[in-house]
Amino acid sequence: MEGIYLVKAASALGAGFALIAGIGPGIGQGFAAGKAVEAVSRQPEAQGLILKTLLVGCGVAETTGIYGLFIGLALLFFNPLL
């Protein structure tokens, strides 16, 4: 019976570590948005190209956070280890 509690505790700990993965994309997207604002302020005529590049980059960066969220939720609610 104690083994079940150990698996649940390890799942909760693993889910917490997986959800920490959301910090990286947040920092990266904030840095990218700041640099995009700097680029637009220097060259306003290139706003369309800068915006497209920013959105694609933020979309790619966000996938790691979404994967971490899914793994964390899977460990908490689907609990594949039990």
For the chain (82 residues), the mean pLDDT of every run of 10, in chain order, is 84 90 89 95 95 93 90 84 70
Task: Provide the b/e sequence for 48-80 (b: ≥16 CB within 10 Å).
Answer: eebeeebeebbeebeeebeebeebbeebbeeee
Whole-number pLDDT of residue 1:
66
The domains of the chain are located at 20-78
Whole-number pLDDT of residue 79:
73
| Domain topology for 20-78 | F1FO ATP Synthase (1.20.20)
Q: What is the pTM of this model?
A: 0.73
